[in-house]
Amino acid sequence: MAQSNILLESGTNELEVVEFFIDEPSTTEPGQISRTYYGMNVAKVLEIIRLPSLTDLPDASHPSVMGAFDLRSEIIPLINLGPWVGKKVDNNLHAKVIVTEFNEVITAFLVSGVTRIYRISWEEVKAPSLQIASLASSSITGIVKLEGKIVFMLDLEKIVAALNPESNIHSNITQETVKQIEKQSLKAVIADDSAMVRNMLFGLLTENGFLVNPFMNGQVAWNHLSELKDAAAKSNRPITDFVNIVISDIEMPAMDGHHLTKRIKDDPVLREIPVLLCSSIITESLYHKGVEVGADDQISKANLDKLVSKVIGLIKPGQTL
């Protein structure tokens, strides 16, 4: 099963979801199977294949790393998704492997099977409650009902990051620049559905002098921006007194980053705010979507060490350092 060729217009708040499932023996009905459905964005999927022959990886960083395989001369690690969602995926002939690419890395995930691709609106994807998120170790970023089934959207970036721990990300701007940012009280709005990424961006920006308001999706970020717009109008002050930069993920429940960007750039007041899209799915083939909705710049989450420099470069004259 190859990646879908269905084209989505930019800024329509739509996505395509690959629905897959994980089976495990039922704990309540002996001899029966318990099936749970999950989903991931088609934009991350390169292809879906049968379980290949594996080569052991010496000193694998986690028990879920099953080994590696050769796919058209690319050596790809295979991760069993089961342990990350508290389930066991049988390594059998019927299992499927979803080959993905995000954050400029190719990774494969073992699942019990794949059903189909759905085209839906991000408005249909609900953010998980705090209880659901805590019970799932924060590996779920969204919940959607598809044909009567509950489907959990997974935070694949968190899983891969946990397997490849790195030192804290820092920017290379000077302390003098940090002092100027603090002096001007430059303000950033962050929208990202991953708590891990939100915390990372919050820490990165605050340590470089920014005042930061983080939000879990584009809808709540938009609501905040609308309130700032009203406050600016009432006080007869420019919007840049209230916010200087918006940094947004693309994949988010309720409202995605492309739609958020389009709404900002369609607004006669908010359009003055530069928007930086920061996503794991910014590739050469998808970069044009951000351009079409008016994003001022885009950066892959694989290059967060360059984020602060990009933010500074986007701040307009009059706000400059």
For residue range 11-34, list pLDDT tens digits in order.
889 999 999 999 988 778 887 888
Q: In the listed set 103, 129, 163, which residue is the last one of a domain according to the structure?
A: 163
Is the domain of 281 the same as that of 217? Answer: yes
Residue 6 CA to residue 285 CA, distance in Å, equals 14
pLDDT at 84 over 90: no
Give me the domain span that covers residue 253: 175-314
pLDDT digits (tens, 9 = 90+) for 50-68: 999 999 988 877 888 999 9
Q: In the listed set 130, 163, 196, which residue is the last one of a domain according to the structure?
A: 163
The answer to whether position 81 is within a domain reads: yes
Is the domain of 190 the same as that of 129? Answer: no
Structural tokens at position 314: 């986007």
Q: Mean of the per-residue pLDDT values for the chain?
A: 88
Is the domain of 184 the same as that of 153? Answer: no
**Per-residue pLDDT, 7:** 47
Is the domain of 158 the same as that of 34? Answer: yes
**Per-residue pLDDT, 172:** 75
Report how far apart, in Å, the C-alpha atoms of 215 and of each of 37, 139, 177, 230, 318 are: 27, 18, 26, 19, 27
pLDDT digits (tens, 9 = 90+) for 227-258: 999 999 999 999 999 999 999 999 999 999 99
The answer to whether position 40 is within a domain reads: yes
Is the domain of 284 the same as that of 199? Answer: yes
- HSE, CB side, 13 Å, CA atoms: give it for residue 276: 23
Residue 21 CA to residue 19 CA, distance in Å, equals 7
The answer to whether position 227 is within a domain reads: yes
Is the domain of 149 the same as that of 262? Answer: no
Q: In the listed set 163, 197, 225, which residue is the last one of a domain according to the structure?
A: 163
The answer to whether position 2 is within a domain reads: no
Residue 95 CA to residue 49 CA, distance in Å, equals 9
Q: How many domains does the chain have?
A: 2
The answer to whether position 5 is within a domain reads: no
CATH no. for residue 141?
Answer: 2.40.50.180
Is the domain of 91 the same as that of 209? Answer: no
The answer to whether position 319 is within a domain reads: no
Structural tokens at position 249: 């993920």
Is the domain of 25 the same as that of 151? Answer: yes
The answer to whether position 168 is within a domain reads: no
Burial of 284 (0-12, 13-18, 19+ CB in 10 A): exposed
pLDDT at 47 over 50: yes
Residue 206 CA to residue 311 CA, distance in Å, equals 13
- Which one-letter amino acid corresponds to residue 182? E
Q: Which of 137, 66, 139 is nearest to 107 (CA)?
A: 66
The answer to whether position 222 is within a domain reads: yes
Residue 94 CA to residue 104 CA, distance in Å, equals 29
CATH no. for residue 185?
Answer: 3.40.50.2300
Whether 189 and 270 have beta carbons less than 8 Å apart is answered as no
Report how far apart, in Å, the C-alpha atoms of 198 and of each of 10, 80, 152, 174, 191 are: 24, 26, 20, 24, 8
Is the domain of 117 the same as that of 191? Answer: no
